Amino acid sequence: MSAFSLVPAMLFYPLYINMYTSLLLVSQSKFLPFCYFLLFIISVCRFVFSHHFS
């Protein structure tokens, strides 16, 4: 793993932890589909970052 792929991972993992915590908090509410959509967008962004920097 090169340094260029390590830097986005270090930036994204705290964001993922916060996002999963938020998903757990709002999982009982009506905003669940929106949260899944938001998580999908973040996953796409992470894929683009990892593909671009690799």
Return the pLDDT at 29.
65
Return the pLDDT at 53.
67
Query: 38 or 2: whose pLDDT is higher?
Result: 38
For 24-48, what is the mean pLDDT? 78
Q: Domains of the chain: which residue ranges?
A: 3-53
> DSSP string spanning 4-54?
HHHHHHHHHHHHHHHHHHHHHHHTTSTTHHHHHHHHHHHHHHHHHHHHHH-
Taking the C-alpha atoms of residue 40 and residue 16, their distance in angstroms, rounded to an integer, is: 12
pLDDT digits (tens, 9 = 90+) for 10-32: 667 777 777 777 777 766 666 66
Check pLDDT > 80 for residue 3.
no
Considering the entire predicted model, what is its pTM? 0.39
